[in-house]
């Protein structure tokens, strides 16, 4: 399974328009080679370098999507409508939806993690990352990652 973006390459900078310094739009993401037996997909976007990449203390969650249909080829830039059945979790701003990179110091890494599951998850309400990760345990058929980086201009 693979996940890509037409906006940035793996381990390359994320353009400012997808960050708090720009329009804070969700980037275009597409994926391929989803296992035929997959029943749903999960997307977790987080930053493990908070607050400072030289001394990280936690991950910051930017976006949580679950129960994406396995035949969904990706999500469009600035996506407002999600495929039928897709649910959203709560990011670390305490809301659903995408929140772009806004690192306080240094160059941070942003992991766009896609999981193919052998089940459709039950309605978890608005789960946080920990609850979503607990729910997907034992159900992952495949995993793919796209990493983008960002540092703020000061």
DSSP conformation letters of 20-53: TTTT-PPPPEEEE---TT--EEEEEEEEEEES-T
Mean pLDDT (whole number) for 74-80: 95
Per-residue pLDDT band for 153 (boundaries 50, 70, 90) equals: confident
Q: Which of 81, 7, 117, 96 is nearest to 45 (CA)?
A: 96
Mean pLDDT (whole number) for 68-81: 96
Q: CA–CA separation, 83 vs 139, rounded Å?
A: 21
CB-based burial label for 39 (10 Å; 0-12, 13-18, 19+): middle
Mean pLDDT (whole number) for 55-81: 96
Q: What is this structure's pTM?
A: 0.97
Please, which residues bridge with residue 114 across strands?
43, 144
Could you tell me how far CA 83 lies from the centroid of its own chain?
A: 15
Q: CA–CA separation, 150 vs 115, rounded Å?
A: 23
CATH 3.90.280.10 fits 2-150, yes or no: yes
Average pLDDT over the chain reads 97
CB-based burial label for 43 (10 Å; 0-12, 13-18, 19+): buried
């Amino acid at each position: 399974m693979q996940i890509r973006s037409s906006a940035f390459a793996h381990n390359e900078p994320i353009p400012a328009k997808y960050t708090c310094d720009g329009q804070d739009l969700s980037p275009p993401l597409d994926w391929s080679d989803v296992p035929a037996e997959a029943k749903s997909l999960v997307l977790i976007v987080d930053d493990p370098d908070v607050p400072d990449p030289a001394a990280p203390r936690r991950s910051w969650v930017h976006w949580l999507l679950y129960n994406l249909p396995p035949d969904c080829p990706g999500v469009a830039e600035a996506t407002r409508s999600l495929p039928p059945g897709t649910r959203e979790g709560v990011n670390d701003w305490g809301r659903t939806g995408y929140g772009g990179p806004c690192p306080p110091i240094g160059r941070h890494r942003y992991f766009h993690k896609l999981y193919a599951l052998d089940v459709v998850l039950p309605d978890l309400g608005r789960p946080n990352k920990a609850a979503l990760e607990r729910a997907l345990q034992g159900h992952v058929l495949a995993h793919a990652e796209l990493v983008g980086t960002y540092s703020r201009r000061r």
